[in-house]
Structure 1
Amino acid sequence: MARRCDLLDTGPMSGNNVSHAKNRTKRRFEVNLCNVTLASDALGQKFRMRIAAKTLRTVDFKGGLDFFLLGTKNHKLTEKAKKIKKQLVKLEASKEA
Structure 2
Amino acid sequence: MSRICELTGKGRQVGNNVSHANNKTKRTFLPNLQNVTLLSDSLGRSVRLRVSTHGLRSVEHVGGLDNWLLKTRDDDLSLRCRRLKREVRKASTAEQAAA
**Alpha carbons 1:5, 1:51 under 8 Å: kept:** yes
SS in 1 for 2:93: helix
Q: Where do residues 4-19 of structure 1 align in structure 2 (5 Å cutoff)? A: 4-19=4-19
Aligned to 2:29: 29
Aligned to 2:63: 63
Kindly provide the CA deviation profile for residues 4-39 of structure 1, in whole angstroms up to 9, marking residues without a partner as x.
212223211100001111111000001101111000
SS in 2 for 1:35: strand
**Alpha carbons 1:4, 1:12 under 8 Å: kept:** yes
Equivalent-residue separation in structure 2 for 1:10 and 1:66 (angstroms)? 19
Equivalent-residue separation in structure 1 for 2:15 and 2:72 (angstroms)? 28
**Alignment: residue pair count:** 97
Could you list the runs of 4 or more consecutive aligned residues of structure 1 that deviate by over 4 angstroms after TM superposition? Answer: none
Flag structure 1 segments of 5+ consecutive residues without an equivalent.
none
Cα deviation, residue 80, structure 1: 0.6
The percentage of aligned residue pairs carrying the same residue is: 44
Cα deviation, residue 96, structure 1: 3.3
TM-score (norm 1): 0.92
**Alpha carbons 1:8, 1:55 under 8 Å: kept:** yes
RMSD: 1.1
Flag structure 2 segments of 5+ consecutive residues without an equivalent.
none
Aligned to 1:49: 49
Cα deviation, residue 56, structure 1: 0.5
